[in-house]
Copies of this chain bind each other. A is one copy, B any other.
Amino acid sequence: MDGEQVGQQALRLHIPDTERGPGAEPPEVRFISAAGEMRRPELDEPVERIALMRKQMVRVLDDDGAATGPWDPQLTADQLRTGLRDMMLVRAFDARLLQAHRQGKISFYMQCLGEEAIACAHKRALHPADMHFPTYRQQGLLIAGGYPIVQMMNQVLSNEADPLKGRQLPIMYSSKEYGFFTISGNLATQYVQGVGWAMASALSGDTRIASAWIGEGATAESDFHAALLFASTYRAPVILNIVNNQWAISTPEDFARGASATFADRGFGYSIPALRVDGNDYLAVYAATRWAAARARGNLGPTLVEWVTLRRGAHSTSDDPSVYRPAGEASHFPLGDPIANLQRHLVTLGQWDDDRHAALSNELDAEVAAAFAEADAHGSVKSGHTADPRTMFDDVYAELPRHLREQRDQVGR
């Protein structure tokens, strides 16, 4: 084909696959490796060599529940059970709050069903003092970090005890103490802020690193580019996480990925080493996080990680996914379920069994129920038990300026 010859052909625009809905085929997950197949690059391996692994995936757990290959983080049985517990607690927590939404107690909720391993293992693999810049689907960072779930519930209920005083939409948590940056409703903004935080830590000769989070859909936002570029230019000690859960509300990953093979590919153009990791494999998440963190701590710069998973539930309580999701998508998903995967591994190791699992499940349900009862006792936005409305004028500035004082005086007058 040559330039001169094709000149008069009519152009046409390519629109990525528009077929969706219950009748459509579940989308295929691209490029899945067998567990243990992908080698573990050196921390300072050139980006070209890492990029050659672009169609491979870090996986540790095989279909029989055995851990295999160079990425096995060699966790103790206790660590594995802790991981299982973290994930199950997240799931129980989500379930209880979804129920609260159905009960009309809260205005809004977003679960992370099926994605629990990513935040839980990542949090455990980092230092508690490291700072996360999360999206709305990393409740696991708080829960695995030991943040009191009753506080999270208070926030979701926007009740009298809500640490954020009813200001934020449910699930938009904030906790500096637990290394969890205040969640923004505006997608992607936190990504470049995370890079800035990491730059500040490096400027200060600190040892803490940052970990910034984004959904695959939100990588389309402009701040994604700014984040990668500044991280690349200043070699910021930051982990740049992309959670690819296949969906952005109703839109499959194709729109944000474009023609490229994977989201991890985006790293190459900035010379940021990038991994694709089975996000439903607790061990793979743990190991890849450690690898990226070691790079950051060793002043080797940022790492991009695409965590491949599936958003099993709706986008939020505001949407009805049955319109756009293919039937049976979750059961077709080739990476399984993160809790079942880790459970199988522990059983295989002889460190777990069905009875212990059922007991833990009951224990966590009870813990969640108790926490919810405690939070619920503080009322909710629906019951009118909130912080004093006049507190909305606080924290707009460090000190209340005159015009806000005047406005506050008019509330409830």
The answer to whether A9 touches B260 (Cβ under 8 A) is no
Closest-CB distance, A207 to chain B (whole angstroms): 6
Specify which chain B residues have a CB less than 8 angstroms from the CB of A16 in the assembled complex: 233-234
Complex: how many Å from CA A226 to CA B258? 11
Known: A1-B43, A6-B298, A258-B232. A237 touches B270 (CB 8 A): no
6 nearest interchain CB pairs? A232-B258, A222-B222, A3-B294, A225-B225, A259-B271, A266-B269
A403 adjacent to chain B (CB < 8 Å): no
Q: What does the 1/0 interface line of A226-250 toward B look like (CB < 8 Å)?
A: 1001011111110000000000000
Q: Does A2 contact B (CB under 8 A)?
A: yes
Q: Are B260 and A232 in contact (CB under 8 A)?
A: yes
Q: Is the CB of A259 within 8 A of B270?
A: yes
Complex contacts, A14 vs chain B, CB 8 Å: 233-235, 299, 301
Asked whether A258 and B270 contact (CB < 8 A) given A11-B201, A205-B11, A206-B10, the answer is yes
Given contacts A3-B290, A222-B225, A225-B225, A297 and B205 within 8 Å (CB-CB): no
Instruction: Give residues of chain A (190-220) contacting chain B, Cβ–Cβ below 8 Å.
Output: 199, 201-209, 220
Which residues of chain B come closer than 8 Å to A324, judged between CB atoms? none
- A261 interfacial by beta-carbon distance below 8 Å: yes
A299 touches B11 (CB 8 A): yes
Using an 8 Å CB-CB cutoff, how does the interface string of A152-163 with B read, 1 for contact, 0 for none? 000000000000
* A279 sits at the interface (CB 8 A): no
Residue in contact with A202 in the complex, picked from B12, B43, B254, B256, CB distance below 8 Å? B12
Give the number of residues in A that approach B within 8 Å (Cβ atoms).
72
A6, B297: Cα distance in complex, Å: 6
- Proximity bits, A291-302, B CB within 8 Å = 1, else 0: 101101111010
Look across to chain B and name the residue whose beta carbon is closest to the beta carbon of A46.
Answer: B261
In Å, the complex CA distance between A237 and B12 comes to 9
Residue on B with the closest CB to A287?
Answer: B3
Give the distance in Å from the alpha carbon of A256 to the alpha carbon of B226 in the complex: 10
Q: Which residue of B lies closest to A199 (CB)?
A: B13
Give min CB distance, A251 to chain B, whole Å.
11
Could you tell me if B12 and A299 are in contact, using CB atoms closer than 8 angstroms?
A: yes
